[in-house]
Amino acid sequence: MEITITKAKELKPKPADESKLGFGQIFTDHMFNMDYNPAKGWHNPRIEPYKPFEMDPATMVLHYGQAIFEGLKAYRTEKGNIQLFRPKENIHRSNSSSRLLCIPEIDERFALDALKQLITVEKDWVPGAPGTSLYIRPTIIATDVFLGVKASDTYRFFIILSPVGAYYPEGFNPVKIWVTTRHVRAVRGGLGEAKTPGNYAASLYAGQQAHKKGYTQVLWLDGVEQRYVEEVGAMNIFFVIDGEVITPALNGSILPGITRNSVIALAKLWNIPCTERRVAIQEIIDAQKEGRKVEIFGSGTAAVISPVGTVRFGDEEVTIGDNKVGPLTERFYKELTDIQYGRAEDPMGWTEPVL
Ligand SMILES: Cc1ncc(COP(=O)(O)O)c(C=O)c1O
């Protein structure tokens, strides 16, 4: 399929100060759009000026949340090139999400090509200041105009781009997390392993409660027994106990993070023992109290690695690793960001050049 390109007549001014980009607030001049109907399949792929959608108020996505999305980044290297980090994995995961949401799958090679063409059109929007990147948000929404719970017949696939600032402008410091035993994000057999809006809607109330209590993120336990750790905020979670890396096994209610997969692969490459299994929160609290060497960190595209310094579980607040960034947490963060920005070798072939 040929992608039609229509350039914007007027371009927006680019942000003058890349230290003030923030996250998800600025959008570029163009977007990618493509439509689906049962007769034509996915058709009419086009790059065109970024503009609002006009939607009938009865459009199905607005009522039943039938949608999926992805989040990945393009990085400007020190040489000035632009590269993506494991984009094929994001596109592949979007099709897994689509299957669970009864959305027709997209051709993965075509989607990667569309993304590269869009970034090529928007190359001047990829920021270059340290820690900045171009956040990419591919999304598919149900577009039938109909009230009634069923899978839509028609869909829109779009990609928008947003230059984003450094995640740690004040330094790479540990955060405080709150373990909720009152709320669940997802349950096995539900949609937890899909990247779909409902999971994020389900997380808002507990997130607000955590903030009110002075914690940055919620640590989610399993939805059945409320004992086993699943994720932290919108990130996967890792523990290090006496040099062993441990992360909850994928069980259907955890999003299979691409950063998670990369941390596991690096641990294996470095011959560090790494286990995917069920982890009870009490096991971690006990390990810290027994004086073992504990590190906790979240992993995800936005922050890459997010160190945890305090865990609140019930009435107890436990300090992890003297509230300092642990050595393995630091090592994973440095290696991943060095690969993403082209400062280190890429032994796994994770980066995908755009320009
Ligand atoms: C719920 C949830 N878990 C985990 C992750 C981490 O996934 P990734 O490493 O692919 O960004 C994300 C972010 O995308 C997320 O939204």
Q: Which atom of ligand 1 is nearest to the CA of 236?
A: 4
Q: What pLDDT was estimated at residue 140?
A: 99
What mean pLDDT, rounded, does the chain reach?
Answer: 97
Check whether 208 has a pLDDT greater than 80: yes
Residues 6+ apart with CB under 8 A from 247: 236, 237, 238, 239, 260, 263, 264, 274, 275, 276, 279
Q: Which atom of ligand 1 is nearest to the CA of 90?
A: 10
Looking at ligand 1, which atom is closest to the CA of residue 93? Answer: 10
Instruction: Give the Å distance between the CA of 49 and the centre of ligand 1.
Output: 29
Task: Give the pair of three-digit tokens for residue 333.
Answer: 């963060």
Q: What integer pLDDT is reported at residue 171 of this predicted model?
A: 79
For residue 55, report the distance from its CA to the centre of ligand 1, in Å: 29
Instruction: Give 343 Cα–ligand 1 centroid separation in angstroms.
Output: 24
Q: How far is CA 212 from CA 74, 207, 215, 216, 234, in A?
A: 34, 9, 7, 9, 18
Residue 78 CA to ligand 1 center (angstroms) comes to 26
Tens of pLDDT, residue by residue over 136-177, are 999 999 999 999 999 999 999 999 999 999 888 777 899 999
| Ligand 1 site, CB within 6 A | 71, 231, 234-236, 255, 257-260, 299-301
Please give the number of the atom of ligand 1 that sits closest to the Cα of 302. 11
Percent of the chain with pLDDT over 70: 100
Question: What is the pLDDT confidence band of residue 21, given thresholds at 50, 70 and 90?
Answer: very high
Distance, CA of 341 to CA of 349 (rounded, Å): 14
Question: And the tokens for 222?
Answer: 């399993």
Beta strand pairing call for 229-232 and 155-164: unpaired
Record the tokens describing residue 354, joined without a space. Answer: 């755009």
**Mean pLDDT of the region 209-224:** 96
How far CA 313 is from CA of 143, 208, 241, 246, 316, in Å, comes to: 43, 17, 18, 19, 5
SS3 for 30? strand
Predicted local confidence at residue 167, as pLDDT:
86
Q: How far is the CA of 135 from the centre of ligand 1 (A)?
A: 13
- Which is it for strands 235-241 and 244-248: parallel, antiparallel or unpaired? antiparallel
Residue 96 confidence (pLDDT) above 80: yes
pLDDT, tens digit, for every residue of 35-51? 999 999 999 999 999 99
Q: For ligand 1, atom 5, which residue shows the shortest CA distance?
A: 235
Between the CA of 300 and the centroid of ligand 1 the distance, in Å, is: 5
Contact 240, 293 (CB under 8 A): yes
* pLDDT in the model for residue 169: 76
Q: Tell me which amino acid residue 113 is.
A: D
pLDDT over 80 (residue 277)? yes
pLDDT of residue 170: 74
Average confidence (pLDDT) over 292-316: 97
Task: Tell me, in angstroms, the distance from the centre of ligand 1 to residue 303's CA.
Answer: 10
> Which residue of 136, 184, 301, 337 sits with most ligand 1 atoms within 8 Å of its CB, as the best mutation to test the pocket?
301
Taking CA atoms only, the protein residue closest to ligand 1 atom 16 is 234
pLDDT band at 287 (very low <50, low <70, confident <90, very high): very high
Which DSSP string corresponds to 259-319? HHHHHHHHHHHTT--EEEE--BHHHHHHHHHTT--EEEEEEETTTEEEEEEEEEETTEEEE
Give the H or E element holding residue 231.
strand 229-232
Give the mean model confidence (pLDDT) for residues 332-349: 97
DSSP bridge partners of 46: 4, 33
Distance of CA 226 to the CA centre of its chain: 24
pLDDT confidence of residue 216: 95
| Protein residue closest via CA to atom 7 of ligand 1 | 257
Domains of the chain: 4-164 (3.30.470.10), 175-340 (3.20.10.10)
User: Which helix (H) or strand (E) segment is 4 a member of?
Assistant: strand 4-5
Q: For residue 168, what pLDDT is reported? A: 81
